[in-house]
């Protein structure tokens, strides 16, 4: 267990250590105020949502593995869990909802009929917790997605159904932003694609463009709503062609001034998402990130402090782009304690950004400009062994949240008091 005095002492030593390299740790901590991570609702209940008690996850290669006891099965339980997560995190964050997470009151509401009233209780909850919201249409786990095509479907009735759904989502998201006083990002991802090699890729992509044009025909104030589109390389059942490829959505976003969502699980394993950030920011004012940990492909594991997340954070900080990049999470692991998955992943993202803020960027640039590549490399290696962990512990301390391994104890206590009783109730039922 870590006590307050030892944390302060460790930070004082770390501060001195970094100061010898010309790095101000207090300033680095101050920069963390600009990092507002959007927590994803689907980690809390394995992408089940609240449309019906027997909802089944289908379409788009989405798969949740594991059945750890105690998952949220009601809106109240999910909110309780998210409040516990927020309690264990330094900083101010956001919450990202999919359309299937509405407060439907056991009423059958189809996707093209959802309204703001189904999300008003979420807005009220967000106000109470002083957080912003983000939103996503849900174009999977529905009979009208069974063919593998939604917004790019050649069946006009199906295509129009999904166009109306996304229009409803944009209207809801804009009202959320208006009421909360912070813009809501509405991110469009669809599972559309082909398992085997298609002949007519062109028509599906033309239909997707047509659908997006229809969806975005109505404009909302940017202080209420920001639109994003998200590509994918492939999914299970859509291995040979994904309609919404990176080329398609990047071109659409640039031409129509929409945000591109870069999910670091949606590219080939040899591609580096961090390397894409400074490229797309030359042509877009703002982008969205979905941060995950792919294992061989888009398997959405809990984020860890690895090379990939370090590069993503470094590229944003080095480009002075914190106000141009919106950071959200996208993973779901049902094999471990879901609260632990949230907190461990989010803290890993925070540590990556703090690590980036603790770089002497100008000095490293100076080495680069003068061809001193050995010195640049040597400094980057030296920074890996500096006591950035002590700086993050202090950041937690001054934000009055559990420090170091203490958060593990907090989650174990929550499991004993809340999750275990929840699991016992499920067994009795």
Active site residues: 189, 230, 232, 263, 266, 290, 298, 300, 330
DSSP state of 202: H
**Please, what is the Cα angle at 315 between 310 and 321, to 5 degrees?**
125
The single-letter DSSP state of residue 99 is G
Instruction: Supply the DSSP symbol for 402.
Output: -
Q: Per this entry, what is the length of the chain?
A: 429
Q: What does residue 43 show for φ and ψ, rounded to 5 degrees?
A: -70, -25
Q: Are 123 and 178 in contact (CB under 8 A)?
A: no
The closest of 294, 239, 241 to 266, measured between CA atoms, is 294
- For residue 245, give the DSSP letter: -
DSSP state of 117: G
Read off the tokens for 367.
Answer: 């080495």
Distance CA(266)–CA(294), nearest Å, equals: 8
- CA torsion through residues 335, 261, 287, 297, sign: positive
273-280 helix and 307-318 helix, angle to the nearest 10 degrees: 20
With a CB cutoff of 8 Å and minimum separation 6, the contacts of 12 are none
CA distance 68 to 419: 10
152 vs 158: CA distance, rounded Å: 9
Answer yes or no: are the C-beta atoms of 293 and 302 closer than 8 Å.
yes
Query: Three-state DSSP class for 95?
Result: strand
Instruction: Assign 253 to helix, strand or coil.
Output: helix
CB–CB of 94/131 below 8 Å?
yes
Q: Are strands 225-230 and 184-188 parallel, antiparallel or unpaired?
A: parallel
CA–CA dist 129, 132 (Å, integer): 9
How far is it between the farthest Cα atoms of the chain?
70
Do residues 408 and 94 make contact, with C-beta atoms less than 8 angstroms apart? no
């Amino acid at each position: 267990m870590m006590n307050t005095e030892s944390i302060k002492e460790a930070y004082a030593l770390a501060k001195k250590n970094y100061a010898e390299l010309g790095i101000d740790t207090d300033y680095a901590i101050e920069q963390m105020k600009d990092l507002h991570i959007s927590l994803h609702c689907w980690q809390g209940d394995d992408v089940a949502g609240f449309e019906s008690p027997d909802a089944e996850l289908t379409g788009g290669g989405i798969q949740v593995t594991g059945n750890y006891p105690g998952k949220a099965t009601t809106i109240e339980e999910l909110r309780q869990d998210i409040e516990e997560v927020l309690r264990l995190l330094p900083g101010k964050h956001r919450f990202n909802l999919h359309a299937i997470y509405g407060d439907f009151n056991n009423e059958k509401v189809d996707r093209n009929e959802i309204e703001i009233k189904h999300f008003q209780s979420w807005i009220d909850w967000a106000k109470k917790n002083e957080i912003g919201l983000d939103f996503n249409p849900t174009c999977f786990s529905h009979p009208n997605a069974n063919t593998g095509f939604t917004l790019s479907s050649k069946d006009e009735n199906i295509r129009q159904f999904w166009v109306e759904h996304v229009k409803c989502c944009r209207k809801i998201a804009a009202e959320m932003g208006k009421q909360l006083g912070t813009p809501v990002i509405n991110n469009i991802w669809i599972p559309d694609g082909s398992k085997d090699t298609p002949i007519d890729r062109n028509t599906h992509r033309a239909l997707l463009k047509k659908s997006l044009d229809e969806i975005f025909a109505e404009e909302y104030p940017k202080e209420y709503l920001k639109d994003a589109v998200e590509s994918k390389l492939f999914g299970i059942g859509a291995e040979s062609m994904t309609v919404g490829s990176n080329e398609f959505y990047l071109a659409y976003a640039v031409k129509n001034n929409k945000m591109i969502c870069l999910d670091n699980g949606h590219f080939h394993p040899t591609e580096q998402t961090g390397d894409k950030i400074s490229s797309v920011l030359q042509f877009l004012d703002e982008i969205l990130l979905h941060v995950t940990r792919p294992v061989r492909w888009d398997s959405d594991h809990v984020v860890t402090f690895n090379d990939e997340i370090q590069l993503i954070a470094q590229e944003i900080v080095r480009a002075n782009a914190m106000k141009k990049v919106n950071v959200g999470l996208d993973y779901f692991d049902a094999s471990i304690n879901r609260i632990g998955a949230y907190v461990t992943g989010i803290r890993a993202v925070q540590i990556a950004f703090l690590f980036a803020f603790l770089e002497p960027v100008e000095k490293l640039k100076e080495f680069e400009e003068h061809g001193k590549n050995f010195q640049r490399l040597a400094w980057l290696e030296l920074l890996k062994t500096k006591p950035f962990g002590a700086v993050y512990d202090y950041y937690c301390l001054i934000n009055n949240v559990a420090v170091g391994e203490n958060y593990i104890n907090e989650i174990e206590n929550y499991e004993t008091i809340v999750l275990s009783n929840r699991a016992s109730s499920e067994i009795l039922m």
